[in-house]
Amino acid sequence: MESEAEEARRFLDSFIKEFPTPLGPEDPLPLRPLSSAVSLEEVQGESLELGLRLLQDRNAPQLLSVALTRAAVSEILQSDLSAFHKKQDEEEEEEAVLLEPDPLQRFFFNRLLELCCTWLEELPPLQPGARRFLQTSAHAIRNTRRKMEDRHVAIPEFNMLCGLEDQTERGYFAVFDGHGGVDAAVYAATHLHINLAQQAELLSSPGEALKKSFRQTDDMFLQKAKRERLRSGSTGVAALLSGDWLHIAWLGDSQVMLVRQGQVVSLMEPHKPEREDEKERIEALGGCVAFMGCWRVNGTIAVSRAIGDIDQKPYISGDADGASFQLHGSEDYLLLACDGFFDTVRPLEAAGMVLEHLRESRGVGSRVAERLVSQAKSNGSSDNITVLVVFLKEPGTLLSEAGERPAPL
C-alpha cells in the first residue's frame, strides 16, 4: 500500500508536469476568480478557496492540499500586493483598497507551483488532522429549483488551514442556503471560517468568536453588495468543534442537530418571521411580517435573519444566535442541513434513516447524506437540499451500540 509521503510526491510530480512553467501575464488562469475585485481582507479567504479547489479537483491528498494551500497563502499575505491595486474611476467614492483578481491569482498560483517544486525535492512532514473528526458525509442537489444556491463547508483540518498552532483540536462545518442568487452563500462559505480564525476571542470564548464571525462576514458582504449591486442573501448554520466543546451559531432556518446514544438532542430554534420575538423585533424597527403563502418580512423574504439582503437591513438581521455544549464522548454525530431538508424530514426520522443506512452498508457512513437527501425529496421537498453529517465516532460502532437500545422511530 502506498504511503502518504509516496502519494504526496506522486501528486506533486503530476502537478508539475501539468504546469511545467509559471503563468505569464497573458496565460489563462486554471480557475475562474471568485470576484471581479478583491479587498485586502478578502485575499486570504479567496486564495485559500481557489487553492483548495485547484488541488482537490486533481485529487490531491487532503493533508497535502491543505498544507500546500496554507503555505502559499502565507507567502502572499507577507508580500507587497500594491502592484495589483485596482484603479478607481475619478467619479468613484474613496473606498477600501481593491485588487485586480486575475494578476493576484496568477501571483498566488506561481507561489503554489514554486512550493510544489520545492516540496517534491524535500517533502515537509504533514501533520495529521484532528483525531476527533473521523468522517464526514455530504450531499447536495438542485432539486426542482432553477438554480443551486446552497453551499457547504467541511474543514476537519481547521487549525492547519487557518495557520493556528495551539494545542486545541478544531474542526469547522457549515451549511449556507442562498436566496435571490448564490453570491451571499458563496461569500459566506469562502470567508466565515477565515473571519472566525482571526477573532481575538477564539481562544478564550470560541462561541462568542463564532457569533462575531457571522456579523463580520455580513458586514464584509454588504460592502461587496454595495459595490457590485448585489441583492442576494443567505441563511447559515456553523458548528465549531473545539477540544471537548461544540459551539454553534446560526442565522435563519438552516439547522444543526446532535444525536447522542441514538437520541436526538435539540440544539437551536431557527429564525423565522412568525417567531414571536422575531416579529416583535422587526415591528419595533418599523417593518412588518405578513402572510403571503408563508410568513415573510415586509412581504418579501421568508426568514428573519441572514447574511446579505442589503435592501432589507436591518429588518433581516445579521446578528447570529449561538449556543455551546460540552461533549462527553457519548455523542454519535452532527447533522447540518438547509430548510429544504428539515421542512420535510423530522429529526427523529433522520436519526432512524442514518441507523438504517449504517445497517444496510455494514457500518460505512460515507454515503449516508445521499440517503437523507433522497428521503427529503421523496417526502415532497422541491427546494435545494444540502445535508452534511459529521460523525463523532467511527460509524460502524454505532451499530453495536444500537443493539443495546431501541432504534429511533
Question: pLDDT tens digits, residue range 260-294?
Answer: 999 999 999 999 999 999 999 999 999 999 999 89
Residues 408, 355 contacting (CB under 8 angstroms): yes
Orientation angle between helical segments 62-77 and 101-121, nearest 10 degrees: 120
Confidence of residue 93 (pLDDT cuts 50, 70, 90): low
pLDDT for 194-230, tens place per residue? 999 999 999 999 999 999 999 999 999 999 999 999 9
pLDDT for the residue 143: 95
Instruction: Average the pLDDT over each of 96-100, 150-154, 376-380 and give the range with the smallest value.
Output: 96-100
Cell of 160: 492547519
Q: What pTM value is reported for the model?
A: 0.94
On whether the CB atoms of residues 342 and 349 are closer than 8 A, the answer is no
Sorted by where each starts, the structural domains of the chain and their CATH numbers stand as: 4-121 (no CATH), 135-402 (3.60.40.10)
Q: What is the DSSP string of 220-248?
A: HHHHHHHHHT---EEEEEEEEEETTEEEE
Q: How many residues does the chain have?
A: 409
Residue 100 vs residues 89, 106, 187, 242, 384: alpha-carbon distances, Å: 14, 11, 17, 36, 33
Residue 253 CA to residue 238 CA, distance in Å, equals 12
pLDDT band at 90; cut points 50, 70, 90? low
d(CA 191, CA 151) in angstroms, rounded, equals 12
**Is the pLDDT reported for residue 1 higher than 90?**
no
Q: How far, CA to CA in Å, does 67 sit from each of 126, 136, 177, 293, 332?
A: 7, 20, 29, 48, 29
What does the block give as the cell for 204? 478564550
Instruction: Kindly report, residue by residue over 333-371, the tens digit of the pLDDT.
Output: 999 999 999 999 999 999 999 999 999 999 999 999 999
Taking the C-alpha atoms of residue 115 and residue 67, their distance in angstroms, rounded to an integer, is: 11
**Class of residue 15 by CB neighbours under 10 A (exposed 0-12, middle 13-18, buried 19+):** buried
